[in-house]
A and B are shown apart, each in its own frame.
Chain A
Amino acid sequence: MNMKASGKLQEILSKGEFAVTAECGPPRGANSEIVRKKGELLKGYVDAVNVTDNQTAIVRMSSIAACTHLLQMGLEPVMQMVTRDRNRIALQSDIMGAYSLGITNILCLSGDHQSFGSQPDALNVFDIDSMNLIRTVQTMREQGKDMSGFELKGPPAMFIGAAANPFADPFEYRVIRLAKKIDAGADFIQTQCIYNIDRFKEWIKMAREEGLTEKVHILGGVTPLKSAGMAKFMNNKVAGMDVPESLIKRIAGVPKEEAVKEGLKICQETIAQLREIKGVHGIHIMAIEWEEIVGEIVEEAGLLPRP
Chain B
Amino acid sequence: MIVGEQKPISEIKEIIAPYKKILILGCGTCVKTCFAGGEDEVAVLASALRLACKKDGKEIEIEEFTVERQCEDEFIREGAPAISRNEGVLSLACGAGVQALARRFVKIPILPGVNTTFIGVLEKQGVFTEECSGCGDCMLAIFGGICPFTRCAKKLLNGPCGGSQNGKCEVNPETDCAWQLIIERLKILGQMDNLRAYVPPKNWQTGLSGGPRKLVREDHII
The distance from the CB of A39 to the nearest CB of chain B, in whole angstroms, is 27
Interface stretch of the complex, out of A150-158, A172-180, A277-285: A172-180
Could you tell me if B199 and A170 are in contact, using CB atoms closer than 8 angstroms?
A: no
- Inside 8 A of A239's CB, which chain B residues have their CB? 162-163, 165, 170
* Nearest neighbor of A240 in chain B, beta-carbon distance: B162
Q: Find chain A residues with CB under 8 A from B164 CB.
A: 168-170, 240
Q: Name the residue among B163, B171, B177, B179 with the largest chain A CB count within 10 angstroms.
A: B163
Report B-chain residues with C-beta under 8 Å of the C-beta of A128: 201-202
Main SS of the interface on chain B? loop
Task: Choose, from A58-66, A129-137, A298-306, the stretch at the interface.
Answer: A129-137
Stretch of B14-22, B38-46, B151-159 with 4 or more beta carbons under 8 angstroms from chain A:
B151-159
A32 part of interface (Cβ distance < 8 Å): no
Interface check A192, CB cutoff 8 A: yes
Assuming A168-B160, A168-B162, A239-B165, is B198 touching A180 (CB within 8 A)?
yes
Q: How many residues of B contact A (CB 8 A)?
A: 31
B163 A183 Cβ-Cβ under 8 A: no
Q: State A169–B177 Cα separation when bound (angstroms).
A: 10
Picked from B162, B163, B170, B180, the residue with its CB within 8 Å of the CB of A170 is B180
Contact of A113 among B171, B201, B204 (CB under 8 A): B171
Does B161 reach chain A (CB closer than 8 Å)?
yes
A110 touches B159 (CB 8 A): no
Decide yes or no whether B190 CB sits under 8 A from chain A.
no
Q: What are 24 A-B contacts with C-beta separation under 8 Å?
A: A84-B154, A113-B154, A115-B171, A127-B204, A129-B158, A131-B159, A131-B198, A132-B158, A132-B200, A163-B162, A164-B162, A165-B162, A169-B160, A169-B177, A170-B164, A170-B180, A170-B184, A173-B159, A173-B179, A173-B183, A180-B158, A180-B159, A180-B198, A184-B198
Name A residues whose Cβ lies closer than 8 Å to a Cβ of B: 84, 88, 110-111, 113, 115-116, 124, 126-132, 135, 147, 163-165, 168-170, 173, 176-177, 179-180, 183-184, 192, 239-240
